[in-house]
Amino acid sequence: MRILFSALLSMAAISPLPAQTSSMRTNVPFDFNVAGKVLHAGSYRVEIDKRAYTAVIHNATESVSVVFAASPAIRNEKVAATGVLVFQNYGASHFLRRIWLSGDVKGYVLPETTRERDFARSFQAPPTLAEIASR
Domain range summary for the chain, segments of one domain joined by +: 19-133
User: What pTM value is reported for the model?
Assistant: 0.78
**Successive 10-residue mean pLDDT values, the chain, 135 residues:** 43 51 91 91 89 82 69 64 90 91 80 90 89 87
pLDDT value of position 79? 57
Residues 6+ apart with CB under 8 A from 52: 19
